[in-house]
Structure 1
């Protein structure tokens, strides 16, 4: 009986989240809001070779973070490999904030849909950065999270088209993956941002929030229970545990006037140098060079190693 009840609640939450997204999409099509969906593509491994001899070799991991504009269908792809950046919250925050800062129109409310992955989309680092953005630009931003197991979004079609274009091809270096992305939609090509370690920023000095947990004591709701967050100039950071409830102020929010009025706040770099790969991976990549054209060998020779 209890299991059936949980299933019904899960289905209800899924349908409500889909309804919320559909309603926001209508507002976006009318031009009332700006709406984006964001997601990380499955990890790519480079080099991608047709020969089976490389199967047991460790390869370089390449990451691709997708931002899909629901209004004009433009797609921004942020691409980096593991020697240039990691997979922590500062990395994903750097990508999203770079995109938001480049928006031509910052006056309309912004709604961002994603899954609930804590490292990418539901963490205090991103929330602090979005609150700083809301204050600096007098903007309103909402993050909305789809239900686990039902996170299909427009980004998925982007990833699928990239995978189709990649099929049957050999990719020797990460830049070859950028070419695949550029060719995956000819009518409106995806925009590729190929990132170096100098791109990523450290947002830890922004501290409106110590935590985005909506509760303060044992038994209270946790971060994974959040369904939506809202960032505004005057009302702080607010949350919802379900889409039908009213907005509530996060208990850990603290307005900091010295940050609020500092429009020249400089966010330091996250890395001082490229990230070293493991010795074993470096050796495997060196061994794989015999299957790669010589023009690409210098890329692997210059990778930092432990």
Structure 2
């Protein structure tokens, strides 16, 4: 079987924190799919079409902010748009004490957070403070204070996003955390309902009210994201990927993948080589 190329990984090297405008970033080729080894806040400053997060397209629009989690796959084909970018190492991210601020990076809903007109100037000034501190004294305490302030504003604004607003429900946050940890081995709704202390029927009702999805569909989403990552940029065979993702065999995995995407795993791999 022909092996695929490993996906490029963009790293911060020895930095824990890095803030920059687009033109100052030189981590690798952003136009092709790449996995990021950090957490990122990307605030677009112009309208330039589309970018891709975990192979799904999202609009590049002025004053739309995207939060990317470590290990997500990103691509920004075409002209690189104007943007403000903050990149956080895992160590810096883990030291953020507020659970709410860390959780808005959860890679389930990747839609952007819109900054309203009246907040553009205040948040621009806050970004400039972050940039100045990062380029001068680089005091970790101040960077934490400024970054927490920016994330808190984004957390507030995320209430206006249908998908991200679900993160403000403690029961759903717990569910997302459980699924992200156990989706490869636990496919039944009852497992997650029991951990949360609800019936399977009730947790499904909550998820459908908030997201118009079932718990099973959430599990499928996590599985599909990882499947796409592995198929596109892994040297593993489809049989190995199937077993790692909790399927009984390659045929079960292939049926699942085609049902969810309309493509066979083989075709998806060929088109993403």
TM over 0.5: no
Q: Which has the larger radius of gyration?
A: 1
* TM-score normalized with structure 1 length: 0.20
* Structure with the largest fraction of helix: 2
